[in-house]
Amino acid sequence: MDEWTRAADEVTLPRIDEVEFHPRPANAGITYAEYEFDALAEEQTATWPAEGECTARPFQVQARGEEIPGTADLFLLKEHEQEVRAAHAAYQHAVRVLQPHVRRELGAKLRYWICWPLLVLGDASGVLSAAIMLGDIPWVAAGQALSSGLAAACAGLAGSELKHLQLAQARRRDPETLSDDEQPYRHLFAGPAGVGIVKFVGALSLLVVLLMAVAISTLRSVVEGSEAGLTFGLLAAITAIGSALLGYAAADEIADLLATKARRVRKAEAHHRTLAGTKVLRVRAQADEAARSLHVEYEHRGQAASHRVESLSWRVLRNNPGVMGHGLPNGDAMGIVGRRTRRGGRT
């Protein structure tokens, strides 16, 4: 038994004559023992919350210290919600309006980014081996080879511009016929633009292809003979032409626009998660929850301790039936609350 139980068992009251069943007298007042334990019960309802406040104080102080920076982070987080919503709305609107005009097959862009570096490396390797065989410094030869490979592959980018012109011509429509949803994208339906520039770029790309083929052919001819030179020169031209065909197959202005909007959505979501996961917000939320939980725990502990002390008060009465009887009179439903009410109107 605990200390309070032993103390309750030690309380004795003078006995009266034995009776088989003796209800509590209706005119009996409140004993000092009942007053004592009633006061002890009230003490528990004050002591335990005070102890809970003491235990929760470090967490409350921590949460209070994070209040200002946490409020600032919450403000930024709420403001950034608008950007996330705007990014999602713009992407969903673009997909709904422009998806029917996408002409690029699924996976074409991935194929492009896999094959294009391989074309660069393939063209560069031919130049690198020939330069090393001529006695050039390897790291210098590697730089020259890589630059020539990139030049050959970039010359094929003109294929993308040609595809853009073709698709723009196919989408061309009178601005008056565009719907309200299509109006924000009217530049996509205006038809091809900059045809002269595209032709000029195409001519420059063709010139790069010819010069690259002649340069590699000459270099390999010096090292391995004219036949090898011609072969590698043609391979260089094939690389550039292959890059052009690869760019032509993957080019789609509308698909690129949708991909850009999708990347904006992912970027906005990632930034929003970063803001939501800041240390200040996390620590503040943890401290607030710890303090709340401790307050609730100690409040319940106080109520439980109060009920325990009240039960000990009844235990004293039960252990002394010779004075207070064996129970309440028949029909009297008063308990602890009833006793307090009798003592002065307290509930």
Q: What is the reported pLDDT for 334?
A: 53
Q: What average pLDDT is seen over the chain?
A: 80
2 in a structural domain = no
pLDDT at 267: 93
Containing structural domain, residue 158: 103-173+190-251
SS3 23: strand
**Residue 333's pLDDT is what?**
53
pTM across the whole model = 0.65
Is 195 contained in some domain? yes
Alpha-carbon Rg for the chain, nearest whole angstrom, is 44
Asked if the structure places residue 237 within a domain, the reply is yes
Residue 342 has what pLDDT?
39
Specify if 45 maps to a domain: no
Tally of domains in the chain: 1
Please state, in angstroms and rounded to a whole number, the distance separating the CA atoms of residues 340 and 313.
Answer: 12
CA distances, 155 to each of 122, 146, 275, 282 (Å): 15, 14, 43, 52
Cα separation, 197 vs 203, whole angstroms = 10
Q: Which two tokens stand for residue 210?
A: 């010819």
207 exposed, middle or buried (CB, 10 Å; 0-12, 13-18, 19+)? Answer: exposed
Quote the tokens at residue 217.
Answer: 């052919």
pLDDT in tens, 318-329: 888 777 777 777
Pick from 247, 320, 294: nearest CA to 50: 294
Half-sphere exposure of 146 (CA within 13 A, CB side): 7
* pLDDT in the model for residue 340: 47
Residue 338, domain member (yes or no) = no
Which token pair is 273?
Answer: 């998660």
Identify which of 58, 4, 66, 63 has the alpha carbon closest to the alpha carbon of residue 36: 4
Assess if residue 67 is contained within a domain.
Answer: no
Alpha carbon 117 to its chain centroid, in Å, reads: 34
Sign of CA dihedral 286, 288, 291, 292: negative
Does 123 reside within a domain?
Answer: yes
Residue numbers in the chain where pLDDT is lower than 50:
335-347
Q: Is residue 157 domain-resident?
A: yes
> What pLDDT score does 84 carry?
93
Collapse the DSSP code of 87 into the 3-class scheme (helix H, G, I; strand E, B; otherwise coil) and give the result. Answer: helix
Residues 113-151 pLDDT 10s: 888 888 888 778 877 777 777 777 778 778 878 887 788
